[in-house]
């Protein structure tokens, strides 16, 4: 069965520091991978997605993620975090024969001034 693991429940970084949020998935074939962000009181906003092709994908707000098949990972990165990036981040996986997304448990990002 498909599953998504986000090993870090909380991460705290200083404003201006770099960020990496981890995501590991379990799926036999090539998955469709997504990162969503949820700010308080807001819905889930898509940051970026990977379907095929270049394994380094660029998203909105300066985020990028790299698909590594050998590690079953799709980690999210940002070179310099802004205070407005404080939110909860969800990794999700889908597959071609299904309509559903399977979400990880989320990582809450706190940004120190």
Partner 1 sequence: EPEVTQTPSHQVTQMGQEVILRCVPISNHLYFYWYRQILGQKVEFLVSFYNNEISEKSEIFDDQFSVERPDGSNFTLKIRSTKLEDSAMYFCASSTRQISTDTQYFGPGTRLTVL
Query: Which of 92, 78, 75, 90 shows the shortest CA–CA distance to 13?
Result: 78
- The DSSP bridge partners found for residue 35 are 48, 91
The answer to whether 5 and 27 are in contact (CB under 8 A) is: no
Q: Return the number of the residue (49 or 77) whose C-beta is nearest partner 1.
A: 49
Q: Return the number of the residue (41 or 113) whose C-beta is nearest partner 1.
A: 41
* Distance (Å, whole) CA 49 – CA 112: 28
Establish if 14 lies at the interface with partner 1 (CB under 8 A). no
Contact pick of 15, 19, 22, 32 for partner 1 (by CB under 8 A): 32
- The DSSP bridge partners found for residue 26 are 3
Q: Return the number of the residue (61 or 100) whose C-beta is nearest partner 1.
A: 100
The answer to whether 35 and 48 are in contact (CB under 8 A) is: yes
* Distance (Å, whole) CA 94 – CA 38: 19
To partner 1, the closest distance from the beta carbon of 107 in angstroms equals 12
Footprint on residues 51-110 left by partner 1 (CB under 8 A):
51, 90, 92, 94-96, 98-106
Q: Return the number of the residue (81 or 107) whose C-beta is nearest partner 1.
A: 107
- Per CB under 8 A, residues contacting partner 1 are 32, 34, 36, 41-46, 49, 51, 90, 92, 94-96, 98-106
């Amino acid at each position: 069965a498909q599953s998504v693991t986000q090993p870090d429940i909380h991460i705290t970084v200083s404003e201006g520091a770099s960020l990496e949020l981890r995501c590991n998935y379990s799926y036999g074939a090539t998955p469709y991978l997504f990162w969503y962000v949820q700010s308080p009181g807001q819905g889930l906003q898509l940051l970026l997605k990977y379907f095929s092709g270049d394994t380094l994908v660029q998203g909105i707000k300066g985020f990028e993620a790299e698909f590594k098949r050998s590690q079953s990972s799709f980690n999210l990165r940002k070179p310099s975090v802004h205070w407005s990036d404080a939110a909860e981040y969800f990794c999700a996986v889908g597959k071609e024969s299904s309509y559903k997304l399977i979400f990880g448990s989320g990582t809450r990002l706190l940004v120190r001034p």
